Amino acid sequence: MKDKMEDIKKAFATDMADAPADGRAVADASNLPPSSNRGGTETEDSGAFQEAFECYETYILDGKGNLLGVPLRRGVSDSAFIDQISFSFHEKTFFDKYGVRVSLLEDEDFIRAASMLAEEVFGFGIYKEAKGSGGRFYDRCWLMGSEDALYGRVHFGGQQNTILFELTGTGCGVAKEGWESRLFALLTNAIRPKITRVDVAKDFFNGEYSPNQAREDRNKGLFTCHHVKPKGECLGSDWEEDDEAKMTKGKTFLVWENIWIRCV
């Protein structure tokens, strides 16, 4: 792991040339991803290296006493991880990446290229077009994953010739190891890249933190960053019932007595 971290440090500490006129970003200390999920307020080591992630497994008992293995991922330094992410870039990015190797004339050509790119970065691609019109103000939408599990969506058509990828929590969880670094490299070299949404999560397996405590901490301003207090809301009736057992991650696996909390 130490050697891997050193390689990452060397890769992202290397100086890059000035940004070209087509709008792609330069990877310098001002636009590298933050080294934590605290808004990037710690600037001393920013840009030194990108967070490394590791795969691991936790075990819980279901209501029948069966031991369930749950594969998970986390950041090496702070145990936080990306639970959902959406990003877009200009379609010209495909010309730069694939050149004349791939025909890029019709929408279907770009979608085939998008599926190839998703396979490279995440380990899975597009398997069919969604029914109806596209979402997010795009003309059309395609699905990543399979009939059994939705890993994400790809929106294309309109929107100033951009393409939008949306990865679900399931997609982030099953993507092949190292996808964060590959996505970072892709967006660093893409034309007009933009992360439109990112959900960062952290697991507390032994009840070290609770939803009610998170609500109190937000009201006290402990989540305020750059003088901006994040918006909050309490969904469902469990808050008034004061029943935190229904707010746990164990509820996902129908294990009501489990105290595993996931904060996003």
- The answer on pLDDT for 56 being more than 70 is no
Distance CA 229, CA 74 (A): 26
Q: Which residues pair with 85 in a beta bridge?
A: 167, 198
Q: Strand, coil or helix: what is 213?
A: helix
Q: Work out the pLDDT band at 252, boundaries 50, 70, 90.
A: low
User: Which among 71-85, 190-204, 205-219 has the top mean pLDDT?
Assistant: 190-204
Distance CA 160, CA 156 (A): 10
Q: Which residues pair with 194 in a beta bridge?
A: 88
Q: What mean pLDDT comes out for the span 53-66?
A: 68
Q: What is the pLDDT of residues 206-219, one digit of tens each?
A: 788 888 898 899 99
- The answer on pLDDT for 232 being more than 80 is yes
Q: How many CB atoms lie within 10 A of CB 164?
A: 21
Q: What is the pLDDT of residues 120-168, one digit of tens each?
A: 999 999 999 999 888 899 999 999 999 999 999 999 999 999 999 999 9
pLDDT of residue 263: 81
Q: Which residues contact residue 97 at a Cβ distance below 8 angstroms, ignoring those fewer than 6 apart?
A: 113, 117
C-alpha to C-alpha distances, 257 to 19, 202, 212, 252, 254, nearest whole angstrom: 53, 20, 17, 12, 9
For residues 178, 180, 186, 192, the Cα torsion angle rounded to the nearest 10 degrees is 180
- The answer on pLDDT for 91 being more than 80 is yes
pTM metric for this prediction: 0.70
**Average pLDDT over the chain, rounded to whole?**
77
pLDDT of residue 239: 72
Q: Strand, coil or helix: what is 199?
A: strand
- The answer on pLDDT for 35 being more than 60 is no
- The answer on pLDDT for 238 being more than 90 is no
pLDDT of residue 205: 77
C-alpha to C-alpha distances, 181 to 39, 49, 95, 177, nearest whole angstrom: 19, 10, 22, 9
- Alpha helix (H) ranges present in 123-237? 169-174, 179-189, 211-219
pLDDT of residue 16: 34
| Percent share of the chain, pLDDT over 90 | 44
Distance CA 76, CA 99 (A): 36
Q: Exposed, middle or buried by CB within 10 Å (0-12, 13-18, 19+), for 34?
A: middle
pLDDT of residue 76: 65
Q: What residue type is 81 in one-letter code?
A: F
Q: Are 252 and 262 in contact (CB under 8 A)?
A: no
